[in-house]
Amino acid sequence: MHMNKDNDNDKKIISRTLDRLYDSKSSPNHGFVCLLVLYFVTTFIVSTSANALSEITIFGHSLPVYSFAGVFSAVANICVILLAVYYDKKGFLCALVVLLVQIPMILMGVIFRGNLSSLPGLFANLFAIITIILIYKNNKKISSYQNKVRDMAVTDIMTGIPNGFACDELIRALIKKNERFANVCIDLNGFKDINDTMGFEAGNIVLIEIASRLKQIADEGTSGTLDFVGRTSGDEFSLMIRNFSSEDQLKATLEKYDAAISQKLNVYECDFFISAAFGYTIFPDDGNTVDAIVSHSNTAMNEVKRVNSSNHFLRFTGDLLSTEKTLETESKIRAAIENDTIFFMLQPQFDLSHKLRGFEALARMKDEKGKIISPGEFIPVAEKVGLIDKVDGIVYKKAGKFIGDLIKQTGSNISLSINVSVRHLMKNDFLTEIDNLLMSSGIPPAQLEIEITESVMIESINKAMSRINTIHDMGIMIAIDDFGTGYSSLSYLNEFPANLLKIDKSFIDKLNTGDKSKQYVAGIISLGHTMGFDVISEGVEEEEQVDTLREIGCDLIQGYIWGKPLLPEDAGKLVKG
Ligand code: C2E
Ligand code: CA
Ligand code: CA
């Protein structure tokens, strides 16, 4: 009983929100009082003026007082009509009572005092009564339609339980009340198979049955907590659980729902069993907006599905977000490989006389909707999940073919720099891959450069060193990328068979902020030169930076100031002049 009352309360909360949406606020109470007072005042004036014999003078004309009775009577009738229009049942009943009370009074005047002049008033009264009855009936019809529409707005038509909108509204209201609650996202396992093998209708029967089992537990309150259940979409349900004293009690409630879902289902004479994944979020600990709460519960639910263990419940934690993001990006990368939507851009590198040295190939990727995902986002994921060699491979092949053809066409001595991640570099077939690249593209080894980040020297230098030496022996150039961001030891740097040192953008950004920063970059440049490397500055955006770099002896520049990453055809134009 107690539970039903609370569910009624929930409905009121949702209903109030709908009122707000419809913007149909109830009319103010003081309006009601004013109309009633105005009615009595005008009625009193009518009854006293109707029989008055005196006259008043207006603009030199004398008028009998009783001739004003009609005006006041009209105002009085308008008051009762307004009461009926704006104050529903209360207004209607009140108007009816005051109109009905007058009838015997008028009749008594006619009978006992022979006051026939008030007879027309009686007819006016009857008309007013008919009018307010019609208004009331009409209002009732409109509000019953409105209620139907409102019910439809908060009810899931198929299962008859509240829909996602109602769930969101309840969450919003509970947040506002600052009441502790758990939001649970429930997703049925294998529901798609039921739809696929037995048809949509069977699927619908399952959803209706599951909804009724969930609703029964919520309504009966057998779980011991205060629960509200809704269907948010397809085979997803949502629970709002309140009044739990501990997480154990919350889990006990979830187990009740889980057990109800797992019970045998019978559809078209077939018995089968279904299970569900439960992800939940506790307000305020795990989220404090409707969006955060709903999406966090979803994240936790997805993790239950992914892990696919016997444990059907999981509470949201922050770690899940990065896992989820990684998974999402991973599936985008796989799709991009499959659909061939990984491509490359070419960022030019120049010497300080603004002569083109070559290009760095930078990976780009489009997701299935055609949105470009930045390499800052997908390269680290590709590295983590072991897809980087595939991504690199595509960039190498496409950029290699383009630059190889360009060199053949123009005879230019431009270089192509490609990035390699440590995990890719260490693969057994990396050297074969590079060999094949040289063969298929026709790029002379001395015009191919492999960029290896400085972090290699810290993490895997011993393993990587022999491989890097082999690459060097093949006549390919090696660049140390992002120099300055790691802490490579000078002794390793000295052994490193590099041609080029790439100073990281973060140093170039600070270059002109003070003498110290400038001296620091000058130090790197002279260190590079001592080791026998050329030095290139990355991320140069300002003329002043170019001036300083020229002054301190930098050899090359790569940055937006002289060239953003370009589409291949634009890079081609730059070479052909
Ligand atoms: P990176 O190798 O250090 O590449 C330079 C990055 O700095 C590029 O970003 C480039 O667009 C950007 N950049 C260059 N000049 C300027 C400038 O003046 N201002 C600013 N604000 N940015 C500039 P992008 O293309 O987003 O690449 C990010 C990183 O992704 C690269 O850093 C590289 O580590 C990685 N990456 C890109 N393509 C590949 C690839 O094919 N394979 C591998 N393994 N990693 C790649
Ligand atoms: Ca690079
Ligand atoms: Ca870099």
pLDDT of residue 22: 47
Atom number of ligand 1 nearest to Cα 502: 3
200 with 177: CB under 8 angstroms?
Answer: no
Two tokens, residue 372: 């470009």
- Picking from 107, 131, 154, the residue at the C-terminal end of a domain is 154
pLDDT of residue 19: 58
Which residue has the CA at smallest separation from atom 4 of ligand 1? 362
Amino acid at position 119, single letter? L
Coil, strand or helix at 371 = coil
- Please tell me whether residues 387 and 284 are part of one structural domain: no
Decide if 416 is inside a domain: yes
- Please tell me whether residues 382 and 517 are part of one structural domain: yes
CA–CA gap between residue 338 and residue 330 (Å, rounded): 12
CA–CA gap between residue 206 and residue 188 (Å, rounded): 10
- Please tell me whether residues 338 and 449 are part of one structural domain: yes
Q: DSSP assignment of 313-362, as one string? A: EEE--THHHHHHHHHHHHHHHHHHHHHT-EEEEEEEEEETT--EEEEEEE
Q: How confident is the model at residue 337 (pLDDT cuts 50, 70, 90)?
A: very high
Q: What is the pLDDT of residues 40-73, one digit of tens each?
A: 998 888 877 766 667 777 787 777 777 777 788 8
Compute, in angstroms, the gap from residue 333 CA to the centroid of ligand 3.
22
Tell me the Ramachandran region of residue 557: left when phi exceeds 0, alpha when psi lies from -120 to 50, beta otherwise. Answer: beta
Does residue 450 register a pLDDT over 90?
Answer: yes
Q: What is the pLDDT of residues 507-550, one digit of tens each?
A: 999 999 999 999 999 999 999 999 999 999 999 999 999 999 99
- Tell me the CATH number at 379: 3.20.20.450
Cβ-proximal residues to 475 (8 Å cutoff; 6+ apart), any chain: 445, 446
Which residue has the CA at smallest separation from atom 24 of ligand 1? 375
Q: How confident is the model at residue 269 (pLDDT cuts 50, 70, 90)?
A: confident
Decide if 91 is inside a domain: yes
Decide if 478 is inside a domain: yes
pLDDT of residue 58: 79
Coil, strand or helix at 375 = helix
- Please tell me whether residues 402 and 440 are part of one structural domain: yes
pLDDT of residue 23: 45
Q: How confident is the model at residue 13 (pLDDT cuts 50, 70, 90)?
A: low
Decide if 311 is inside a domain: yes
Amino acid at position 120, single letter? P
Average pLDDT over residues 264-274: 89
202 with 267: CB under 8 angstroms?
Answer: yes
Residue 71's nearest CA partner among 92, 53, 50 is 50
pLDDT of residue 107: 86
- Please tell me whether residues 250 and 225 are part of one structural domain: yes
- Please tell me whether residues 513 and 549 are part of one structural domain: yes
Angle between helices 69-86 and 88-113 (to 10 degrees): 150
Q: How confident is the model at residue 364 (pLDDT cuts 50, 70, 90)?
A: very high
pLDDT of residue 193: 86
Does residue 24 register a pLDDT over 60?
Answer: no
CB-count burial class (<10 Å; 0-12, 13-18, 19+) for 209: middle
Tell me what the pLDDT averaged over the chain comes to: 90
Q: How confident is the model at residue 15 (pLDDT cuts 50, 70, 90)?
A: low
Other C-beta atoms closer than 10 Å to the C-beta of 294 total 20
Q: What is the pLDDT of residues 406-442, one digit of tens each?
A: 999 999 999 999 999 988 998 889 999 999 999 999 9
Residue 206's nearest CA partner among 159, 253, 247, 257 is 159
Ligand 1 site, CB within 6 A: 347, 362-363, 374-376, 379, 388, 392, 395, 419-421, 481-482, 538-541, 558-560, 565
Compute, in angstroms, the gap from residue 364 CA to the centroid of ligand 2.
13
Q: How far is CA 169 from the centre of its chain?
A: 17
What radius of gyration, in Å, describes the C-alpha atoms of the chain?
41
530 with 512: CB under 8 angstroms?
Answer: no
CA–CA gap between residue 452 and residue 481 (Å, rounded): 6
- Please tell me whether residues 467 and 566 are part of one structural domain: yes
- Tell me the CATH number at 188: 3.30.70.270
Q: DSSP assignment of 434-500, as one string? A: HHHHHHHH---GGGEEEEEETHHHHHSHHHHHHHHHHHHHTT-EEEEEEETSS---HHHHHH---SE
Compute, in angstroms, the gap from residue 141 CA to the centroid of ligand 1.
66
Q: What is the pLDDT of residues 483-492, one digit of tens each?
A: 887 766 677 7
Does residue 569 register a pLDDT over 90?
Answer: yes
Report how far apart the first and last C-alpha atoms of the chain are (Å, whole number): 84
Compute, in angstroms, the gap from residue 419 CA to the centroid of ligand 1.
9
Strand partners of residue 242 = 181, 226
- Please tell me whether residues 429 and 522 are part of one structural domain: yes
Domain that includes residue 49, residue range: 7-154
CB-count burial class (<10 Å; 0-12, 13-18, 19+) for 177: exposed
Token match 């066409």: residue? 409
Q: How confident is the model at residue 240 (pLDDT cuts 50, 70, 90)?
A: very high
Angle between helices 164-177 and 119-154 (to 10 degrees): 100
Residue 449's nearest CA partner among 498, 494, 401 is 498
Does residue 558 register a pLDDT over 80?
Answer: yes
Domain total in the chain: 3
Residues within 5 Å of ion ligand 3 by Cβ?
481-482
pLDDT of residue 160: 93
- Please tell me whether residues 476 and 369 are part of one structural domain: yes
Compute, in angstroms, the gap from residue 482 CA to the centroid of ligand 3.
4
Residue 35's nearest CA partner among 121, 117, 132, 122 is 132
117 with 50: CB under 8 angstroms?
Answer: yes
Average pLDDT over residues 329-341: 96
Other C-beta atoms closer than 10 Å to the C-beta of 280 total 25
- Please tell me whether residues 168 and 311 are part of one structural domain: yes
pLDDT of residue 449: 98
- Picking from 290, 320, 350, the residue at the C-terminal end of a domain is 320
Compute, in angstroms, the gap from residue 538 CA to the centroid of ligand 2.
9
Two tokens, residue 400: 């290699």
Decide if 214 is inside a domain: yes
Decide if 1 is inside a domain: no
392 with 399: CB under 8 angstroms?
Answer: no
- Please tell me whether residues 26 and 91 are part of one structural domain: yes
- Mutational test site, ligand 1, from 360, 418, 419, 566, max ligand atoms within 8 Å of CB: 419
- Please tell me whether residues 525 and 377 are part of one structural domain: yes
Two tokens, residue 153: 């707005």
Decide if 2 is inside a domain: no
Does residue 325 register a pLDDT over 70?
Answer: yes
Q: What is the pLDDT of residues 87-145, one digit of tens each?
A: 989 999 999 998 998 888 888 878 887 777 777 778 888 999 999 999 999 989 988 88
- Picking from 284, 301, 320, the residue at the C-terminal end of a domain is 320
Atom number of ligand 1 nearest to Cα 421: 44
pLDDT of residue 20: 52
CA–CA gap between residue 493 and residue 285 (Å, rounded): 49
Q: How confident is the model at residue 481 (pLDDT cuts 50, 70, 90)?
A: very high
Which residue has the CA at smallest separation from atom 10 of ligand 1? 565
Decide if 132 is inside a domain: yes
State pTM to two decimals: 0.63
